[in-house]
Amino acid sequence: MKSAHDLVVEAKQTVQEISVDQAIQAIQTCDVLIDVRETEEYLAGHLPGAVHMSRGMLEFKMASNPAMQPRDLKIVLYCKTSGRAALSACSLAGMGYSHIQSISGGIDAWMAAGHEVFKPAQPTFE
């Protein structure tokens, strides 16, 4: 029986992972930057310009959004460390998307490299 780690290792063998440095250029030229983390993670801070589609809802959100229908969209994915993004990339490839990249190391590597993270203002109730 395969573990979650086994599935991620297999996914990373077929996914185009890019470094944080390569991600800067890829983000500038992609059609959509997708954060596949959970809602709480996204709200705590995300890459500027990223849209949120959690790993569990990704396929459904892609299928139901007409703007996401073209299978030649240039897609960049990320999560916390890159496991969920790799699994997401495999799933999207299975749906016929052909230009998918995953940021190696995820948002953790992005922040470790000193790059900007957008943190939405939290409401106050005072």
Query: Of 96, 97, 100, 91, whose CA–CA distance to 34 is shortest?
Result: 100
Is the pTM here over 0.85, yes or no?
yes
The 10s digit of each residue's pLDDT in 66-122 is 999 999 999 999 999 999 999 999 999 999 999 999 999 999 999 999 999 999 877
55 in a structural domain:
yes
Q: Give, in degrees to the nearest 5, the angle at Cα 32 between 27 and 36.
A: 95
CATH of the domain at 107: 3.40.250.10
91 in a structural domain:
yes
The 10s digit of each residue's pLDDT in 11-64 is 999 999 999 999 999 999 999 999 999 999 999 999 999 999 999 999 999 999
Q: Report the number of distinct structural domains present in the chain.
A: 1
Q: What is the number of H-type helices and E-type strands within the chain?
A: 6, 5
76 in a structural domain:
yes
Q: Give the residue numbers spanning the domain of 28.
A: 4-112
